[in-house]
């Protein structure tokens, strides 16, 4: 068991890759806080994992809810060793002039400000634990942006930069900060990225050298490695899990 006795808080864990990360961590011995703004979804994932998981309802744009979520994790499991900032949203794939101010504000509020506030709330607990691992879910959109996802891609660029900034700032505390940049992944969010034009999916797959989209488990496998002691000398990296798309 590669995460025996570790405690992980995973945001957006009621769906998609967050759920897969929660299940994978629990299978490897971690206790997991399954955080999502959709309470039913968080309960379902936590219920399937069993007694080593708790469901936490939290909207990451609200500081008080973040503080309560962190407190609930500490109360249940006694500390935090790993934070996975996975929750994220996007505007629908569309031309930049069609991205409304509300779209822009909402994606930055969740993907950047929410991630920032959650990280601030958890750092004191990682320090108390003598170190830890923060894993941010970025995107290939933040490394090799394509048309139609302007504001979303900008949020992921910010996530990648924040990852590097915090990696150097928190290294003296033995807190490692890394990011994963997934390519298009089979989750409920996927249609938002691909847009409605016919044939989009096949066109996209054709640009991935390994010839398929990512599965949530592909991302969970990397999130597992980055959380373990095997990655103790790895920090500040943006790790593509993309079948070679960004080459
Ligand atoms: N699916 C893809 O193709 C893809 C590719 C690259 C990166 N990503 C990133 O991966 C991460 C996970 O995405 P996914 O595809 O699994 O999506 P998903 O929609 O399946 O899951 C995201 C979860 O985050 C939760 N969430 C959204 N806003 C929240 C908020 N304010 N507070 C709390 N929870 C909130 C949602 O309720 C949902 O359960 C996101 O950061 C996304 O940007 C996805």
**Cα 211 to Cα 237: distance, rounded to the nearest angstrom:** 25
Distance 91 CA to ligand 1 centre (A): 12
Q: Please tell me the predicted confidence (pLDDT) of residue 198.
A: 87
Look up residue 55 and give its two tokens: 């469901």
Q: Compute CA 106 distance to the chain's CA centroid, rounded to the nearest angstrom.
A: 17
How far is 13 from 32, CA to CA, in rounded Å?
10
pLDDT of residue 31: 98
According to the model, what pLDDT value does residue 122 have?
A: 99
CA 118 from centre of chain: 12
Each domain of the chain, given as residue ranges in start order, spans 7-241
* Atom 7 in ligand 1: residue holding the nearest Cα: 139
Ligand 1: distance of its center to the CA of 88 in Å? 4
- What is residue 45's predicted lDDT score, i.e. its pLDDT? 98
Model confidence over 19-40: pLDDT tens digits? 999 999 999 999 999 999 999 9
| Residues identified as active-site | 152
User: Which ligand 1 atom sits nearest the alpha carbon of residue 36?
Assistant: 34
Q: Are 36 and 42 in contact (CB under 8 A)?
A: yes
Dist. CA 187 → ligand 1 center (Å) = 8
Q: Which CATH architecture has domain 7-241?
A: 3-Layer(aba) Sandwich (3.40)
Residues of the chain with pLDDT under 70: none
Find the residues whose C-beta lies inside 6 A of ligand 1.
11-12, 14-18, 36-38, 41, 58-61, 86-89, 110, 114, 137, 139, 182, 184-185, 187-190, 193
- Point out the ligand 1 atom lying closest to the alpha carbon of residue 216: 16
| Measured CA distances, 66 to 56, 73, 74, 83 (Å) | 10, 11, 13, 13
Measured by CA distance, the residue closest to atom 24 of ligand 1 is 12
Strands of the sheet containing 175-182, edge to edge, are 53-57, 31-36, 7-11, 82-85, 132-137, 175-182, 238-241
Report which secondary-structure segment, H or E, holds 77. Answer: helix 63-77
Give 166-213 pLDDT, tens digit per residue.
Answer: 999 999 999 999 999 999 999 999 999 998 788 999 999 999 999 999
pLDDT of residue 67: 98
| pTM for this prediction | 0.99
pLDDT of residue 196: 77
Test site for ligand 1: of 16, 108, 205, most ligand atoms within 8 A of the Cβ: 16
Q: How far is the CA of 116 from the centre of ligand 1 (A)?
A: 16
User: How much distance in Å is there from the Cα of 172 to the middle of ligand 1?
Assistant: 31
What pLDDT sits at residue 197? 81
Q: Which of 87, 108, 115, 159 to mutate to test the pocket of ligand 1 (most atoms within 8 A of CB)?
A: 87
């Amino acid at each position: 068991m590669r995460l025996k006795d570790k405690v992980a808080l995973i945001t957006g864990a009621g769906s998609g890759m967050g759920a897969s990360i929660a299940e994978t961590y629990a299978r490897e011995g971690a206790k997991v806080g399954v955080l999502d703004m959709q309470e039913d979804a968080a309960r379902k994932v936590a219920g399937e994992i069993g007694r080593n998981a708790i469901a936490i309802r939290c909207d990451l744009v609200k500081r008080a809810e973040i503080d309560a979520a962190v407190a609930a994790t500490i109360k249940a499991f006694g500390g935090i060793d790993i934070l996975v900032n996975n929750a994220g949203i996007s505007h629908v794939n569309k031309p930049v002039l069609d991205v409304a101010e509300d779209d822009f504000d909402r994606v930055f509020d969740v993907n950047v400000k929410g991630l920032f506030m959650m990280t601030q709330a958890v750092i004191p607990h990682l320090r108390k634990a003598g170190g830890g691992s923060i894993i941010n879910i970025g995107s290939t959109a933040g490394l090799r942006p394509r048309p139609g996802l302007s504001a979303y891609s900008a949020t992921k660029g910010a996530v990648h930069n924040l990852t590097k900034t915090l990696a150097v700032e928190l290294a003296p505390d033995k807190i490692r900060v890394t990011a994963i940049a997934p390519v298009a992944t089979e989750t409920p969010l996927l249609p938002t990225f691909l847009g409605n034009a016919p044939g989009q999916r096949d066109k996209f797959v054709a640009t991935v050298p390994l010839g398929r989209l990512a599965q949530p488990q592909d991302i969970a496998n990397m999130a597992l490695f980055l959380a373990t002691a095997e990655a103790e000398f790895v920090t500040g990296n943006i790790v593509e899990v993309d079948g070679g798309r960004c080459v």
